[in-house]
Amino acid sequence: MISAGIDVGSTATKVVIFDGTIRSMAIAPTGWNPKEAGRNVFNEALIKAGLQERDIDRIVGTGYGRVSLSFIDKKVTEITCHAKGARFLFPQTRTIIDIGGQDSKVIAVAEDGSVADFIMNDKCAAGTGRFLQVMTGILDITLDELGQMASGSKPASINSMCTVFAESEIIGLLAQEVTKEAIASGIVQTIANKMIGLTSRVPCLEEITFSGGVANNPEICAILSSVFGAKFNIPDQPQIVGALGAAIVGFETI
């Protein structure tokens, strides 16, 4: 039995081929056409697995772009899929923190692995990868450089969670000759504050698994972990957690 999970996110599309273990995976930018991205990344994952589409017994789609995938067998919410994927990678997971390109979410997982509660920020860019993208653009640095600069630096005060107002604050701080290191630290602190705010509205228990593209940055992971006062589980490929969960859902229903 072989299944495929396709997670079409706002920024990246991820696919996992699953046969009880991860057979292959593929990640690529979603771009302007989520339907095409889903098909192309699925084909890439098939090639990596040495399979053809007819070899796949069940295809499950998730993410905001799942509605555009006409070739899938089932659509499942990303909340369910992230819980499934995180528990497969880290079986004792009780909380999932996911920071994606356009949204961030906190998912509370019950002892049996089911979703107990969740909260999602998808109405504004605060606390998302997009927020970091805008902020690093102002500082003219990469996301990796942001994490490196923020590590060990005293954070400058950035009071606004709104991307537009935070942008104005950072421009003002630069005009006052506040160092980029302090501003970078303040930006990461702002993300941490946003996520702490979300976790205050759902149960936040250890173990905590951190997923999404931002989790690729070890310095930012370390800072967030310190703010939360808890160790984070970081997947080797944090972006594929939702796609993995979708593939597991498919595998369990073949």
pLDDT computed for residue 114 by the predictor: 95
- What kind and span of H or E run contains 133? helix 129-139
pLDDT computed for residue 223 by the predictor: 86
Residue ranges covered by each domain of the chain: 1-90+237-254, 93-234
Domains 1-90+237-254 and 93-234 belong to one CATH topology:
yes
Per the listing, tokens 């701080």 go with 173
Q: How far apart are CA 228 and CA 222, in angstroms?
A: 10
What 3-state DSSP class applies to 200? coil
pLDDT computed for residue 199 by the predictor: 85
pLDDT computed for residue 193 by the predictor: 85
Per-residue burial over 144-153, b = 16 or more CB atoms within 10 Å of its CB, e = otherwise: ebbbbbbbeb
Q: Evaluate the omega torsion of the peptide bond into residue 207 and state whether it is cis, within 30 degrees of 0.
A: yes
- Residues of the chain short of pLDDT 70, as ranges, are 122-127
pLDDT computed for residue 6 by the predictor: 98
- The radius of gyration of the chain's CA atoms, rounded to the nearest angstrom, is 18
Specify whether domain 1-90+237-254 bears CATH 3.30.420.40. Answer: yes
pLDDT computed for residue 131 by the predictor: 87
Contacts of 225 (CB under 8 A, 6+ apart): 210, 231, 232
Inter-residue contact 138 to 170 (CB < 8 Å): yes
**pTM, full prediction:** 0.93
pLDDT computed for residue 105 by the predictor: 92
- What kind and span of H or E run contains 105? strand 104-109
pLDDT computed for residue 143 by the predictor: 87
pLDDT computed for residue 103 by the predictor: 84
pLDDT computed for residue 238 by the predictor: 97
What 3-state DSSP class applies to 7? strand
What distance lies between CA 113 and its chain's CA centroid? 19
pLDDT computed for residue 56 by the predictor: 98
Over residues 86-145, the pLDDT tens digits come to: 999 999 999 999 998 878 899 999 999 999 999 988 666 666 778 888 999 999 999 889
CATH architecture of 93-234: 2-Layer Sandwich (3.30)
Q: Count Cβ atoms below 10 Å from residue 124 Cβ, excluding itself.
A: 16
Inter-residue contact 155 to 182 (CB < 8 Å): yes
